[in-house]
Amino acid sequence: MNSEKLINKISKFLLLANITVGIVFISLGFLPNQESVKIQDAVKQKLVTVKLNSTGQHSGKSMQVTLKNLTGKTQHIQFPAGTVFIADTSSEQNIYMPEDAMIVLQAKESKTTTMEGYCCEPNDRSPKEHSTFKLSYTDNKDLLALNKIVKGKKLSEDIKQTAVWATINKELSPINEYNDHESGSSSDPADIARLRQAMSTEMSIPDSWYNTQQNISMDANRRILIEPLEISGAITIKINGNTTLKEVIKNEKGEVIDDDMKPYTINKTGNLTYSFNLKVRGWEVGKYYVVVTANNKEVLKQEFVIN
């Protein structure tokens, strides 16, 4: 085969490859090198207008977004992780986006959709349906760290909301699979554990030895009620031979408030680890201590907190 024929064959192959790649890009709904524009920049540049209304929820699909493309070309509008929807009513919660979202608008197109967002002000009221919001972006370094931590993890809306509140409150014990109440949840328990560990490391939040199981509800005034139900974790003590163990719960004043565990005797030398579970529904906010004695001598005093 002479060089001219070889060059012609290569040219035809490259042309066919380029056409095939182009068809793939078009079928996926985007073009090569077409860049997205952050919503904050798109509004400033008058590429789009945006209208933000609450769906009446404080987490999950909580924000209704209406966009209008003011230009004569397709716009890829990115809502970046870190976007905050600021409530126009100051007593209502602001809503935070820990993950990116994208909306594609054709020339002059208007589009309304719902977006995932999570309450980042647990002490304010849940927004009313149709409440209005303004667009902003957070400067909270811990929330920005959370964006990177959740990326790529299989986490339900319940766990994402818990993670946002844990970031605000600096309390990691509610991040556990017991607080994933969604039916058919998509969460991976291993990812929940990795989320908690990474938050402790990246945000310098001391992790606790226990999990707090909670019930989340809303009162007639749309205030979020977070009720601790149960404290659970692993207790480890060192024993030496024939030992009678006793466990009580004390408050900050040193008063015994739970004495349900009967003494039991075990003949073992070394570390003993056992599961700790305590119902705390209705308990007062404050610090408490698990106190364990071995042969009437205190060998452990471990703190837990009810918020």
Q: Domain range holding 68?
A: 36-138
Please write the tens of the pLDDT for every residue from 110-124. 999 999 999 999 999
Question: Does residue 219 lie in a domain region?
Answer: no
Question: Helices (DSSP H) in 108-156: which residue ranges?
Answer: 141-150
Do residues 96 and 118 make contact, with C-beta atoms less than 8 angstroms apart?
A: yes
Do residues 225 and 219 make contact, with C-beta atoms less than 8 angstroms apart?
A: yes
User: Residue 25: CB partners within 8 Å, gap ≥ 6?
Assistant: 31, 32
CA dihedral 29, 35, 39, 42 (to 10 degrees): -110
Look up the CATH number of the domain holding residue 254. Answer: 2.60.40.3880
Question: Does residue 276 lie in a domain region?
Answer: yes
Question: Helices (DSSP H) in the chain: which residue ranges?
Answer: 3-27, 39-44, 141-150, 157-169, 189-203
Question: Does residue 221 lie in a domain region?
Answer: no
Q: Which of 81, 110, 138 is the last residue of a domain?
A: 138
Q: Which of 93, 110, 138 is the last residue of a domain?
A: 138
- Tell me which amino acid residue 228 is: P
Question: Does residue 51 lie in a domain region?
Answer: yes
Question: Does residue 249 lie in a domain region?
Answer: yes
Half-sphere exposure of 81 (CA within 13 A, CB side): 16
pLDDT of residue 181: 82
Please write the tens of the pLDDT for every residue from 261-302. 899 999 999 999 999 999 999 999 999 999 999 999 999 999
Do residues 248 and 261 make contact, with C-beta atoms less than 8 angstroms apart?
A: yes
Please write the tens of the pLDDT for every residue from 63-104. 999 999 999 999 999 999 999 999 999 999 999 999 999 999
Q: Which of 138, 155, 172 is the last residue of a domain?
A: 138
Please write the tens of the pLDDT for every residue from 142-155. 999 999 999 999 99
Q: What is the largest CA-CA distance in the chain?
A: 98
How many domains in the chain? 2
> Under the phi-then-psi rule, with left for phi > 0, alpha for psi from -120 to 50, and beta for the rest, what region is 125?
beta
Please choose, from the candidates 168, 186, 178, 182, the residue with its C-alpha nearest in 3D space to the C-alpha of residue 119. 168
Do residues 226 and 214 make contact, with C-beta atoms less than 8 angstroms apart?
A: yes
Q: How confident is residue 183, by pLDDT bands cut at 50, 70 and 90?
A: low
Question: Does residue 296 lie in a domain region?
Answer: yes
User: Residue 107: CB partners within 8 Å, gap ≥ 6?
Assistant: 69, 71, 72, 73, 74
What pTM was estimated for this model as a whole? Answer: 0.84
Question: Does residue 225 lie in a domain region?
Answer: no
Question: Does residue 274 lie in a domain region?
Answer: yes
